[in-house]
Amino acid sequence: MVEKSKLKIKLDEVVGTIDPNIYGHFIEHLGRCIYPGIWVSRNSKVPKEHGFRKDVAQALKAVNPPVIRWPGGCFADFYHWKDGVEPREERPHRINLWWGGVETNEFGTDEFLQFCSLIGAEPYICLNVGSGSLEEALSWVEYCNYEGD
């Protein structure tokens, strides 16, 4: 014998609140996500604002992500934040050990924070727990939060 099932939806009862951060996004130096997906060079003919692709910034702004995580998953394990904070022309180029190619470090901490501000998302920075140190992580936290010189 087959029993009938019922489903009762009570729209006026709140069971719980979903944390909005569950709808966050993640960007990484994988494939074309950062270059030229978010960041394009000065010489690029792609419409840009301060190096950020206008079409991508507008699309993400429309999605309204509460948080964006960077510099990634695997990539974060060998990313050293100081490589991406000097003037762009002075930033070291490194081999991207995970995805191949050369990492120019044109898109670094300041660019990430500017991008989050541009699209209205909170930044979520992943620390380097693969090849980094506790001192490096603490220095990065200080760099991002200290209001003095």
96 φ, ψ (degrees, to nearest 5): -80, 100
Q: 85-122: per-residue pLDDT in tens?
A: 999 999 999 998 888 889 999 999 999 999 999 999 99
**In 44-137, beta strands by DSSP E:** 48-49, 52-53, 67-70, 94-95, 102-103, 122-125
How much is the average pLDDT of 9-35? 91
Give percent of the chain above pLDDT 90: 77
| pLDDT per position as a tens digit, 126-143 | 999 999 999 999 999 999
pLDDT at position 1 over 80: no
pLDDT, position 98: 83
pLDDT at 21 over 80: yes
One-letter identity of residue 121: A
SS3 of 112, please?
A: helix
pLDDT band of residue 3 (cuts 50, 70, 90) is confident
CA atoms of 136 and 63, how far apart (whole Å): 33
Residue 73 makes CB contacts below 8 A (sequence gap 6+) with 26, 28, 126
pTM greater than 0.85 (yes/no)? yes
Half-sphere exposure in the Cβ direction for 25 (13 Å, CA) = 18
The average confidence (pLDDT) of the chain is 93
